[in-house]
Structure 1
Amino acid sequence: MVCLALTIGWFLYRAGDDATEVLARNALMEVMGRVSQAIDRQTLSARESLNVVAPPPVPPFEPGDAPAVLPFPKDRKQLEERLWLANFLFDDPSYVYFGGADGSFLGIKQESRNRFMYSVREPEGKNYVSYLRGPGTEMQQAAVQDYDPRTRPWYRQAVERGRETWSSVYTDFRLKHLGINLSKPIFDAEGVLMGVASSSIGLRQLTEFLQQLPLGRNGVAFVTELKGDMIATSLNEPLHEVRDNSTEFKRLTAQQSKSPLVQQAFAEVQRYLTANPAEPGRLILLGARSEGSKIEVAFRLHHDQAGLDWLAISVAPRSDFLGSVTGGVYQTLLLGLVAVCLTFVIGFLLLRWVLRDIRKLTLAAKSIGNGSPFPALNIDRNDEIGQLAQSFQEMERNLRTDRLTNVLNRDSLIAQIDFRRHNASEANPLRFAMLFIDLDRFKAVNDEYGHDEGDKVLVVIAERLQHTLRHDDSVARFGGDEFVVYLHGVSEAEVARTIADKIRHSVNKPIEGRDGHQYTVDASVGVSLYPDDGLDVETLLRVADSRMFDQKRLHRMLSV
């Protein structure tokens, strides 16, 4: 009987430990999905602001045709108009500027909602800094500086590399927070360098985002460069310090963090990258021990051709998720011991009953991670295991749906597509189309009527997209005003474009707002086909996203 009791206890412990591991890892997957969206949002704002100042060539409509190139303005007034447009493209404060090969400089920086810094330098002259409230308002001169853009690192790096380039992360001494620049060399039709356009973004908002994430009692999320220099953290600790007897800031590393979890997690990631090649965009899950207790570590490498290499890392102790499991395990173990003392048969039946429910929880948690359909738990209990079953069902809803619009979220859609790909075969091949949708004129609703009305528009658009699609199709919100639609079985581009036109027609219908207002938004839609345009989800998304931006540029040119 003692051996049987110990066996029961061991099985219960292992089942609880497995369920806790899966629960912790799925919680980290949700966190990492949100962190990746925040990083993409930050880097996209710099790139799109730069594309407004210096638009890339528009791909030709017909194969063999030359791409359409929008000439870069040589007139300061025209350049100033582009800088103002780039500043108003996103809500986040930004700094866009252009340094000419002749030493001229023009930059506009949004420091707050109604406060802008205007900086201008004539060739071989002084740089004049003024403040104003917006385009065309009165300027108040603030400073006169000795400043030559051609000597700055962002200018020299872009010229040396001859392409779009990220700067190193730096510390803004005046604002005392981290920032980064994305710069692009500009050439005329003869290939002569005209200068360098650059977009500068602050990284403080990334830390603020991490500090608002639901990470559990002891969970931590942070972003570093490959060598370990900190970029953002969910902890309330500094990212840089002042060197002794100087005004120079020194960046702090993950190894210098006051949190042992941060140090341990970064060490585990470095150990993994030493033994395995880095795979940008792939989410990696690791298990480890920290001070005797088990921890789960998740990380993803963010890399692009402009030189960005950031590690997003999240770590959580399993003990944070153990409380909801151990109570039920201990209670059941006690009942098992009593049952063993009464009869062997009752104890055996009790063992099967307990393990059955915990196995259901384990299988349900694994289904959340691999994107397969969530099984019915059918657990009707009032103890901690019953509460844990309810928590799994709630977690499934949170992991797979966007909280505002109630459609699928990014990671859930990708997981479901991967699940279908892995279950396809030569006898039953998988073909589908993907639509990348970005709402036009949505920012005007947010700016004029507020974010509550903007959220209402997003909810209505999500409902319209769901009503437009078939039962086997899916729609997901990818963040902000972007949606992605999965069209099951669609293998022809013409069919996909017809559905895209149907979606645009549905989105274009007026939306009733507050105080009798009506809002009308449009949509730019990019199409990609599997397997014609790519064999993995990330490639299909990039193709559809690129085609969406091509359509958006066409809309802008046609509306001028």
Structure 2
Amino acid sequence: MVCLALTIGWFLYRAGDDATEVLARNALMEIMGRVNQAIERQTLSARESLNVVAPPPVPSKDAALPPAVLPFAKDRQRLEERLWLANALFDDPSYVYFGGVDGSFLGIKQESPSVFMYSVREPGGKNYVYHLRGPGTEMKLVAEQDYEPRQRPWYLQAVERGRETWSSVYTDFRLKYLGINLSKPVYDVDGTFLGVANSSIGLRHLTVFLQNLPLGPNGVAFVAELKGEMVASSISEPLHEVKGDSGEFVRLLASQSRSPLVQEAFEQVRLYLASNQVQPGQLVLLGAQCDGRKVEVAFRLHHDAAGLDWLSISAAPRSDFLGSVTGGVYQTLLLGLVAVCLTFVIGFMLLRWVLRDIRKLTLAARSIGDGGPFPALNIDRNDEIGQLAQSFQEMEHNLRTDRLTGVLNRDSLIAQIDFRRRNATEATPLQFALLFIDLDRFKAVNDEHGHDEGDRVLVTIAARLKKGLRHDDAVARFGGDEFVIYLHGLSDIASARSIADKLRHGVNRPIDGRDGHQYLVDASVGVALYPQDGLDVETLLRVADSRMFDQKRLHRMLSV
């Protein structure tokens, strides 16, 4: 009887431990998906700002012909218009500027919501800095500088590499926060070098984003460079400090963090990278020990051709996700001992009853990790396991859906598509279309009426998109004002575009707001087909995203 009781306890412990591991890892996957979106939006803002200032070559329809090079705005008025447009393209303030090969300089930076810095230099002259409230408003001279753009690191680095180049993460000595630059050499249509365009972005918004993530009581998330220099962190600690009397700023290393979990997580990632090859964008999950507790660690390598090399890492103790399981195991073990003492049969029935429901939870957790449909638990109990089942269902809903709009989130949609791809056969091949939707004029609602009204608009549009779909279709919010729609069984571009036009008409209907206001937003939609445009989700998203930006540029040209 004692052996049977111990066996019950061992099975209960192993089942609870397995369920805890799966739950913890799935929660970290959802967190890492959000962090990945935040980093992509930060880097995309810099790259798209430069594309507004100096548009990239447009591929020709004829593959044998070279891409068309768009002319660069060489006179100051046209260049200034592009700089203003680049500044207004994204919500996060950025500094966009251009240094000419002749020594000229022109830059615009948003200092605050209503104050901009305008910096200009003629070849061979001084650099004059003005403050103004927006395009065409009165300018007030605030500084006169000896500034030679051609001698700046961002200029020299872009000229040396001959392509887009990220700078090292630096400390802004005036505003005392971390930042990074993306520089791009600019050429005329005949190949003549004209100068270097640069977009400078601050990284404090990334730290604010990490600090607002639902990490649990002991979880951490941070971004660091490969050598350990911290870029952003959910821990409230300074990422740089002044060294000695020289006033030099020194970056905080992950190994110097006051959080033991940050130190241990980075050390585990460093050891893994030393002996394993990791592809950029690949999510890796690790198990570790920290202060005697089992912890789960997830990380992703962010790398691009411009030289970005960052690690995003999140970690959490398993106990954060299922702290009450141990108590439930001990209580159930005690009941098992009493039952075994009464009769062997009652003990055997109790064993099956307990293990059956925990097994359901374990299988359901694995199903979520595989991207499959969530099975019905059918657990109707009032004890800890019943409460765990209810919490598990709520957690599954939170992991798969966007909290604001109620539609799917990015990782959930990708997981469901991958699940359909894995289960497709030659007899029943998979065909579908992806629509990448980006809202136009949405930023104006946020700026003029506030984020609450912007959220109202997003919720309304998500409901309209969901209402216009079939049962097997799906809509997901990819972050900000971007949505992606999965159209099941669609195999031709004409049908996909017809549905896209129908959904766009639904989006641009008036939306009732606060105090009688009505908002009009539009949408730019890019379409990609599987398998014609790509055999994996990431490729399809890039194709649809590129076509969406082509349509957005067309909308802007038509509205001018």
For Structure 1 versus Structure 2, the TM-score category normalised by the shorter chain is: over 0.9
Q: Distance in 2 between matches of 1:76 and 1:260?
A: 53
1:415 CA drift (Å): 0.5
Q: Distance in 1 between matches of 2:448 and 2:211?
A: 29
**Aligned-residue identity in percent:** 81
Q: Residue 344 of structure 2 corresponds to which residue in structure 1?
A: 344
Q: Residue 373 of structure 1 corresponds to which residue in structure 2?
A: 373
Q: Is the 8 A contact 1:58 1:550 kept in 2?
A: no
1:314 CA drift (Å): 0.2
AA of the residue aligned to 1:507: V
Q: Residue 309 of structure 1 corresponds to which residue in structure 2?
A: 309
Q: Residue 15 of structure 2 corresponds to which residue in structure 1?
A: 15
Q: Residue 195 of structure 1 corresponds to which residue in structure 2?
A: 195
Matches within 5 A, 1:217-296: 217-296=217-296
1:57 CA drift (Å): 2.6
AA of the residue aligned to 1:119: S
1:64 CA drift (Å): 5.3
Q: Structure 1 residues 475 and 165, CA, compared in 2 at 3 Å: closer, same or farther?
A: same
Q: Residue 405 of structure 1 corresponds to which residue in structure 2?
A: 405
1:101 CA drift (Å): 0.6
SS of equivalent residue, structure 2 residue 323: helix
Q: Distance in 1 between matches of 2:367 and 2:87?
A: 44
SS of equivalent residue, structure 1 residue 314: strand
AA of the residue aligned to 1:72: F
Q: Residue 505 of structure 2 corresponds to which residue in structure 1?
A: 505
* Partner deviation per Cα, 1:498-522 (whole Å, 9 max, x = no partner): 2212222222222222333322221
Q: Detail structure 1 runs of 4+ shifted over 6 Å in the superposition.
A: none
Unaligned 5+ segments in structure 1 are: none
1:553 CA drift (Å): 0.8
Q: Distance in 2 between matches of 1:426 and 1:493?
A: 22
Q: Residue 515 of structure 2 corresponds to which residue in structure 1?
A: 515
* Partner deviation per Cα, 1:169-212 (whole Å, 9 max, x = no partner): 11111111100011111111221111101111000111111111
Q: Is the 8 A contact 1:324 1:385 kept in 2?
A: no
AA of the residue aligned to 2:40: D
Q: Distance in 2 between matches of 1:458 and 1:102?
A: 46
Greater CA drift, 51-60 or 219-228 = 51-60
AA of the residue aligned to 1:309: D
Q: Distance in 1 between matches of 2:264 and 2:159?
A: 39
Greater CA drift, 10-19 or 64-73 = 64-73
Unaligned 5+ segments in structure 2 are: none
Q: Is the 8 A contact 2:70 2:189 kept in 1?
A: no
Q: Residue 321 of structure 1 corresponds to which residue in structure 2?
A: 321
Q: Residue 556 of structure 1 corresponds to which residue in structure 2?
A: 556
1:69 CA drift (Å): 3.6
SS of equivalent residue, structure 2 residue 305: coil
Q: Distance in 1 between matches of 2:400 and 2:322?
A: 23
Q: Residue 109 of structure 1 corresponds to which residue in structure 2?
A: 109
Greater CA drift, 249-258 or 5-14 = 249-258
Q: Is the 8 A contact 2:69 2:189 kept in 1?
A: no
1:449 CA drift (Å): 2.2
How many residue pairs get aligned? The number is 560
1:390 CA drift (Å): 0.8
Q: Distance in 1 between matches of 2:518 and 2:70?
A: 35
1:61 CA drift (Å): 5.2
1:530 CA drift (Å): 1.2
1:67 CA drift (Å): 4.2
* Partner deviation per Cα, 1:453-510 (whole Å, 9 max, x = no partner): 2222211211111122111111101011111011111122222122212222222222
Q: Distance in 2 between matches of 1:89 and 1:459?
A: 22
1:424 CA drift (Å): 1.1
Q: Residue 449 of structure 1 corresponds to which residue in structure 2?
A: 449
SS of equivalent residue, structure 2 residue 388: helix
User: What TM-score, normalized to structure 2?
Assistant: 0.97
Matches within 5 A, 1:155-234: 155-234=155-234
Greater CA drift, 133-142 or 225-234 = 133-142
SS of equivalent residue, structure 1 residue 245: helix
SS of equivalent residue, structure 2 residue 244: coil
Q: Distance in 1 between matches of 2:374 and 2:448?
A: 42
Q: Structure 1 residues 550 and 61, CA, compared in 2 at 3 Å: closer, same or farther?
A: farther
User: What TM-score, normalized to structure 1?
Assistant: 0.97
SS of equivalent residue, structure 1 residue 380: coil
SS of equivalent residue, structure 2 residue 300: strand
